[in-house]
Amino acid sequence: MAIDMKVPSVGESVTEVTIAAWVKKDGDFVKMDEVICELESDKATFELPAEADGILHIIGKEGDTLKIGAAICSIEPQNAASTEKSEPLPLEVRPAVVSDPVAHTVVQKSEVLEIKVPTVGESITEVTIASWLKKTGDQVGLDEIICELESDKATFELPSPFAGTLTIKAEEGTVVPIGGVLAAVAVGGSTVAPKEAKGEVSIPTTVQTAENATYAEGHPSPAAAKVMAEKGLASSDVNGTGVGGRITKEDALNAKAAPTPSVTPKSEPNPSVVAPKEDRGSRREKMTSLRKTIARRLVAVKNETAMLTTFNEVDMKPIMDLRKQYKDKFKDIHGVGLGFMSFFTKACSIALLEFPAVNAFIDGEEIVYNDFTDISIAVSAPRGLVVPVIRNAEKMNFAQIESEVVRLALKARDNKLTIDEMTGGTFTITNGGIFGSMLSTPIINAPQSAILGMHNIVERPVAINGSVEIRPIMYVALSYDHRTIDGKDSVSFLVRVKQLLEDPMRMLLQV
């Protein structure tokens, strides 16, 4: 009896995953604990091992989005599979072969298998069909790319898990929920083969034609198409390096932009002549799933929390002087640079333990207080902003914090962050200053109760001991959930962070 494998629970608040790639093919023999596919959530990519020895039968295709607990494949025990294969069919029940003057038709048992949307990541409940690469009635091979799907995190290709005749169930642009039916593939049935010599009967085998091998050649992915449109490029202007000649986003980025048409000098315009409408063009673009989900989550946070923001300013001169004096020695000894993030992370971890309400969160009708500080750090990644977590920051020194920041940033850049590295933070630090932001009101990273916003450093005149001096000043903002944190705690927390940053020796002496 076949063993059904289902999508396992992979992390906090993860409700669905996407099948990133099948390591094994349909019909392959697999061993227990052997990796058969890679699953991807919006937090990380992880491997799925086989639950038993046997023959693999794939249910979910690459790119499909599946909910936790949904069937992804089945494994037929080896003894059952070998028994079925070793016993030949009696002559009277073997597939009949019908000949006619034009072709030989091999009549086999027909079965229609559905292609469903796989799980593609945490909290992703639907995907959009970006484009179909095949049409209804086309013959598709196993693992042949049939369409492109778009989630709120990325665009990915969906290969066919079966070989047969394709029937499309959902058109381009349709939003399909995870587990919804995209298409169906008729496996088996009557297969027509070319006429051969009289008296000869052969069973046709599947052969990939040149057309099938190059179906993607010159065809851009949705991400690449967007880049090409912005740069004014046609498909013929870009050399595709993807599978089957597919034009990838990197190909479009590396291609040179189309030359701007030369403009000939014009005479002075006549004020009485009204500019044609085409000179005031506009365009509409469908919102991506990523943008729609971001919008939905941000609105939910604003509607479900009593969010306020309090501000303060930090004189960064003491930290900048300290870095200038010790940064070279620090890097020689520890192998990492001494940045601002370690100072802010350490200051926040100390202040969070002194003001536990800022480090808490609401769970139903209860408030959960943490006696540890797992600080989420906003990091820019290719797919957008991610927030990996520095665990137990209160126990780490500056070198350990800097090393962890570098490690997480590199993994974020390569899209290799795991689910555990992306979940469970108790407080978040975001640095809009690297993009030039002077002041902002950051939105809370639910279910946390507070987030600290860093901004750019600008030299400003300030009063020091009765005289005016030019100092490097940074504005800091603390957005917090007033349901958990009172105004006194929020302001006191931010003042304590300011105190620790303006006198870094306090962090070393713990005073």
State how far the Cα of 355 lies from the Cα of 489, in Å rounded to an integer: 7
Residues of the chain with pLDDT > 70: what percent?
77
The answer on pLDDT for 257 being more than 80 is no
The answer on pLDDT for 317 being more than 50 is yes
- What does the mean pLDDT of the chain come to? 80
**Edge-first strand listing for the sheet containing 16-22:** 45-49, 35-40, 16-22, 65-67
What's the pTM? 0.51
Instruction: Identify whether 482 is a catalytic site residue.
Output: yes
What average pLDDT score do residues 171-181 get? Answer: 86
The answer on pLDDT for 193 being more than 70 is no
What average pLDDT score do residues 405-428 get? Answer: 87
Q: How confident is the model at residue 199 (pLDDT cuts 50, 70, 90)?
A: very low
State how far the Cα of 10 lies from the Cα of 15, in Å rounded to an integer: 9
Catalytic residue among 321, 328, 414, 482: 482
Instruction: Identify whether 455 is a catalytic site residue.
Output: no
Q: How confident is the model at residue 360 (pLDDT cuts 50, 70, 90)?
A: very high
Q: How confident is the model at residue 217 (pLDDT cuts 50, 70, 90)?
A: low
Question: Domains, the chain, ranges and CATH?
Answer: 3-84+96-196 (2.40.50.100), 298-509 (3.30.559.10)
Q: What is the pLDDT of residues 279-298, one digit of tens each?
A: 788 888 877 665 676 678 78
Q: Torsion angle of alpha carbons 86, 90, 96, 97, nearest 10°?
A: 70
Are 174 and 129 in contact by the 8 Å Cβ rule? The answer is: yes
Q: Which of 43, 52, 46 is nearest to 19 (CA)?
A: 46
Q: What is the pLDDT of residues 111-132, one digit of tens each?
A: 888 898 887 655 567 788 888 8
Q: What is the pLDDT of residues 139-155, one digit of tens each?
A: 988 888 898 887 765 66
The amino acid at 270: N
The answer on pLDDT for 83 being more than 60 is no
Catalytic residue among 57, 279, 486, 489: 486
Q: How far is CA 247 from the centre of its chain?
A: 20
